[in-house]
Amino acid sequence: MADGAAVLITGAGGFTGRHASRRFAARGYKVFALVRSKAGLPAIEGGEYVFSDLTDQAGIRRLIDRIRPQFVLHLGGKNSVPDSWSNPLLYIESNVMTTLYLLDALQRCGLRDTRILVAGSRLKFGLERPLLPTHPYGLSKSLQEAAALSWGKLFDLGVMIAEPGNLVGSGPSTGICSLLARHIVRLERGESPSPFRLSSADARRDFLDVRDAVDAYEMLLRQGEVGEVYPVCSGQERSLAELVRDFSHLTATKDLNIQIGASSGAEVLPQTDPPLPQALWSMGWQAGMAWEQTLQDVLDYFRKEGTASS
- Per residue in 28-55, pLDDT (tens digit) is 999 999 999 888 888 899 899 999 999 9
CA 59 to chain centre: 24
CA distance 255 to 250: 13
Task: Report if pTM > 0.85.
Answer: yes
**Domain 6-164, classified CATH 3.40.50.720, yes or no:** yes
DSSP β-bridge partners for residue 32: 8, 48
Q: What percent of the chain clears pLDDT 70, i.e. is strictly above it?
A: 94
Residue-range domain boundaries for the chain: 6-164, 169-205+236-269+289-305
* CATH class, 169-205+236-269+289-305 region: alpha beta
Phi and psi at 30, nearest 5°, equal: -90, 105
Q: Which amino acid is at 241?
A: A
Instruction: Give CA torsion, residues 227, 229, 232, 233, to 10 deg.
Output: -160
Q: What is the CA radius of gyration of the chain?
A: 19
pLDDT in tens, 117-175: 999 998 888 888 999 999 999 999 999 999 999 999 999 999 999 999 899 999 999 89
pLDDT in tens, 212-226: 999 999 999 999 999
Burial 158-167 (b: 16+ CB within 10 A, else e): bbbbbbbbbb
